[in-house]
Amino acid sequence: MISIVIPIYNEEENLPQLHKRLTDSAASWQEDYEIVLVDDGSFDRSADILRSLTDSDGHVHVVRFSRNFGHQAAISAGINYAKGDAVVIMDGDLQDPPEELHRFLDKWREGYEVVFAVRTKRKEHFFKRIAYKLFYRILSVISDINIPLDSGDFCVMDRKVVDVLKHEMPEKFRFVRGLRAYAGFRQIGVKYERHSRAAGEVKYTFKKLMALALDGIFNFSTFPLRLATYLGLTLAIPSFLVGIFFIIHRIFDFKVLGYSPSDTPGLATLAVGMFFLFGIVLLILGIMGEYIGRIFYEIKGRPFYVVREVWNRDLPKS
């Protein structure tokens, strides 16, 4: 059986079309399927539509959160509830076309445990596209694992990978595409053209997007911490040498570039140097804070989502 996991946050305009296109595509797979829709605290008519979909179609299952917990939490919940031998993750705004899914499933049947989508084109603002490109490149340079470039959450995962994600990766700050890469197994990218949103506004606010990007960086890399060491060293070593030079200069009081220590030294240099150094110290404190904040949240062990109710049949509760 194939499970299709879709996070839904105020997608009332997209839900009927999403269900129709998905059902039409699924008919050609010749395999049983279920659609696991995770309602991430929607406050439009999404819940009503989901209710009627569950009533009319036995393939549809709905997990409803008690409030908005975010896209990554919704995906994780869907993964936890899905029963399929393969689990598909896709967005609810039809940016990931259901008609392409059979190509992904073919690769899965060939034996790949992770088939992830690689975007060839993005129909989004110029600035956003550049930001995405930049982010993925920085991430791939500094992260500990090999996160494929330009691949989002859209993918098919084998049950083996799903079980690893579900049982062996309990972290609360979830960057699912990173966890997926970490899990390993045979992975392959399939190219596709990312469409623009079928209807409605983007549900990812700038703040949420930034949080996601920071999760990607700080959850999969200790490079920023090491940056402190590198910066410290590049500043400390030359300073030390210059310091030694100053001592000698002071003792022997010779002229360098027309200046001898008995003249008054420049105040501006000192002030600039101080601000610069304090800036770096604060930056490094902030970076430390990112990690400590994450430790703080992880250690509390709060659930990263709370389920209000589950609609339709015998979904396992875990």
**Residue 7 contacts which entry, Mg ion, ligand UDP, none (Cβ below 5-8 A, type-dependent):** ligand UDP
Select from 36, 40, 15 the least CA-distant residue to 204.
40
Shortest Å, Cβ 241 to ligand UDP: 49
153 binds Mg ion (CB under 5 A): no
Stretch that binds Mg ion, among 14-22, 95-103, 143-151, 231-239 (CB under 5 A): 95-103
Collect all residues with Cβ–Cβ distance below 8 Å to 95 and sequence separation of at least 6: 194, 195, 196, 197, 198
CB of 192 to ligand UDP, least distance (A): 14
Residue 34 binds to ligand UDP (criterion: CB under 6 A):
no
Q: Which residues in 145-204 contact ligand UDP (CB under 6 A)?
A: 197, 202-204
Q: How many other CB atoms are there within 10 angstroms of residue 231's CB atom? A: 14
Query: Looking at beta carbons only, is 93 or 113 nearer to Mg ion?
Result: 93
Report residue 209 CA to chain centroid gap.
Answer: 8
Which residue's entry shows tokens 């070593």? 237
**Exposure string over 272-292, b if 16+ CB within 10 A, otherwise e:** eeeeeeeeeeeebeebeeeee
- Residues 115 and 188 sit within 8 Å (Cβ to Cβ): yes
Q: Tell me the residue number closest to ligand UDP, measured at CB.
A: 92
Question: Closest by alpha carbon to 316, among 65, 158, 82?
Answer: 82
Q: Which of residues 79-138 bind ligand UDP (CB under 6 A)?
A: 91-93, 95
Q: What are the b/e assignments for 305-317, b being 16+ CB within 10 Å?
A: bebeebbbeebee
For position 80 contacting Mg ion by CB under 5 A, the verdict is: no
Shortest separation between residue 306's beta carbon and ligand UDP, angstroms? 14
- With binding defined as CB under 6 A, does residue 68 bind ligand UDP? yes
Question: Which of 25, 95 has the CB closer to ligand UDP?
Answer: 95
- What gap in Å lies between CA 44 and CA 200, rounded to an integer? 11
> Measured from the CB of residue 297, what is the shortest distance to Mg ion in angstroms?
26
- Whether the Cβ atoms of residue 15 and residue 101 lie closer than 8 Å to each other: no
Please state the closest distance from residue 283 (CB atom) to Mg ion, in A: 33
**Pairing assessment for the beta strands 151-158 and 114-122 based on DSSP bridges:** antiparallel
CB of 143 to ligand UDP, least distance (A): 20
- Please state, in angstroms and rounded to a whole number, the distance separating the CA atoms of residues 220 and 81: 26
Q: Which stretch binds ligand UDP (CB under 6 A): 6-14, 28-36, 272-280, 308-316?
A: 6-14
Q: Which stretch binds ligand UDP (CB under 6 A): 5-13, 129-137, 164-172, 299-307?
A: 5-13
- Confirm or reject binding of residue 13 to ligand UDP (CB under 6 A): no
**Alpha carbon distance 211, 67 (integer Å):** 18
CB contact at 8 A, 317 and 77: no
> Which one of 3, 14, 68, 95 is in contact with Mg ion (CB under 5 A)?
95
Identified binder of ligand UDP from the candidate list 35, 36, 74, 79, rule CB under 6 A: 74
With H, G, I as helix, E, B as strand and everything else as coil, classify residue 203. Answer: coil
CB of 197 to ligand UDP, least distance (A): 6
* Residues lying near Mg ion in the complex (CB under 5 A): 91, 93, 95
Binding site for ligand UDP (CB under 6 A): 7-9, 11, 40, 68, 70-71, 74, 91-93, 95, 197, 202-204
